[in-house]
């Protein structure tokens, strides 16, 4: 994927688009993998604690340059930055923090309860319709249990359901998890009457548990809208293992035209 450790070049695969842009989860996953490829020694095995991505411009299928910087490699926490460019212009910037476990007397149980969910087979799959839905829907299995389908003039602004890849990957790690979590459409577009452009502006993902899992496992996902107006939506989401263990907290700012 990378030609060198510091400044690498790679290619965003076709078939993962959403409109003119490559789906943001894949962009973030590629950038995280690039950072992982740069880390050495003890830093290499540190679990991801949080990442923040700014989607500066549409990233398109094709060549991409990745500038990877390890900002600091401390005794327990390593922080890095990855900048992706295409044709010399910045399209995305990622900041990531990785950290070892440490002894602490502080322990607070999750404040959000595991939602009551029907089994994936009892939920509605978001369809892949070539030329209508995003291209990357061919690769993800999203099962809606509550909330509205996109562009149905719904009165709701939340979504609840299951997610996994349609074709299991050989292994499943942090990069796969990051790519999968961003697959859900912006929650507010269910309120629109017809397709209109909408995309992530910024995304912050925090991991609170290990996300290594069986490649075909379903993950429970719930997103709620905190506020929307003036062409922007602000949402927060939680992800659980099927056994009810909270594994991640997500927050996004999305742009909505319409």
The enclosing domain of 1 has a CATH number of: 3.10.129.10
Q: Which pLDDT score, from 0 to 100, does residue 42 have?
A: 76
Which letter, b or e, does each residue of 177-198 get, where b requires 16 or more Cβ atoms within 10 Å of its Cβ? bbbbbbbbbbbbbbbbeeeeeb
Q: How many domains does the chain fold into?
A: 2
Q: Which pLDDT score, from 0 to 100, does residue 2 have?
A: 29
Per-residue confidence at 218, pLDDT binned at 50, 70, 90? very high
| Domain membership flag for residue 18 | yes
Cα-Cα-Cα-Cα torsion 76, 202, 248, 135, nearest 10 degrees, comes to -120
Average pLDDT over residues 175-188: 95
Which of 47, 67, 100 is the C-terminal boundary of a domain? 100
Statement: residue 7 has pLDDT above 70: no
Return the percentage of the chain with pLDDT > 70, whole number: 97
Q: Which residue has the tokens 């450790």?
A: 5
Q: Write the CB contacts of 119 (distance below 8 Å, at least 6 apart in sequence).
A: none
Kindly state whether residues 31 and 152 are assigned to the same domain: no
| Domain membership flag for residue 106 | no
Which of 100, 122, 142 is the C-terminal boundary of a domain? 100
| Domain membership flag for residue 251 | no
- In whole angstroms, give the CA distance from residue 119 to residue 143: 9
Q: Which pLDDT score, from 0 to 100, does residue 19 have?
A: 83
| Domain membership flag for residue 250 | no
Kindly state whether residues 95 and 118 are assigned to the same domain: no
Cβ proximity of 41 and 101 under 8 Å: no
Kindly state whether residues 11 and 83 are assigned to the same domain: yes
Kindly state whether residues 46 and 96 are assigned to the same domain: yes
Whether this prediction's pTM lies above 0.75 is answered by yes
The CATH number covering residue 213 comes to 2.40.160.210
Per-residue confidence at 132, pLDDT binned at 50, 70, 90? confident
- In whole angstroms, give the CA distance from residue 192 to residue 202: 21
| Domain membership flag for residue 254 | no
Per-residue pLDDT of 52-77, as tens digits, reads 999 999 999 999 999 999 999 998 99
| Domain membership flag for residue 49 | yes
Average pLDDT over residues 90-98: 98
Kindly state whether residues 54 and 170 are assigned to the same domain: no
Statement: residue 202 has pLDDT above 90: yes
Helix (H) or strand (E) holding 233: strand 232-240
Domain boundaries, position 62: 1-100
Kindly state whether residues 148 and 175 are assigned to the same domain: yes
| Domain membership flag for residue 217 | yes
Kindly state whether residues 61 and 147 are assigned to the same domain: no
Kindly state whether residues 95 and 212 are assigned to the same domain: no
| Domain membership flag for residue 36 | yes
β-pairing, 140-147 vs 17-18, is unpaired
């Amino acid at each position: 994927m990378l030609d060198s450790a510091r400044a690498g070049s790679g290619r965003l695969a076709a078939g993962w688009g959403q409109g003119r842009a490559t789906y943001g989860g894949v962009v973030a996953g590629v950038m995280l993998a690039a950072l992982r490829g740069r880390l050495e020694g003890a830093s290499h095995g540190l679990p991801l604690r949080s990442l923040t991505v700014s989607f500066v411009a549409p990233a398109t299928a094709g060549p991409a340059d990745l500038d990877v910087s390890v900002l600091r490699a401390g005794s327990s926490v390593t922080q890095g930055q990855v900048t992706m460019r295409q044709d010399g212009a910045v399209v995305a910037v990622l900041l990531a923090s990785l950290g070892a476990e440490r002894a602490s007397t502080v322990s607070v149980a999750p404040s959000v309860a595991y939602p009551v969910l029907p089994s994936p087979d009892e939920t509605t799959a978001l369809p892949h319709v070539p030329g209508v839905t995003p291209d990357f829907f061919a690769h993800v299995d999203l099962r809606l249990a509550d909330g509205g389908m996109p562009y149905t003039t719904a009165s709701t602004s939340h979504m609840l359901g299951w997610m996994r890849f349609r074709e299991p990957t050989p292994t499943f790690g942090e990069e796969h998890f990051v790519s999968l979590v961003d697959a859900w459409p912006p929650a507010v577009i269910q309120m629109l009457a017809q397709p209109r452009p909408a995309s992530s502006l910024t995304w912050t993902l925090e991991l609170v548990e290990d996300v290594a899992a069986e490649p075909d496992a379903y993950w429970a996902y719930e997103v709620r809208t905190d506020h929307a107006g003036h062409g922007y939506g602000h949402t927060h989401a939680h992800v659980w293992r099927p056994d009810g263990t909270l594994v991640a907290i997500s927050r996004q700012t999305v742009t909505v035209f319409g």
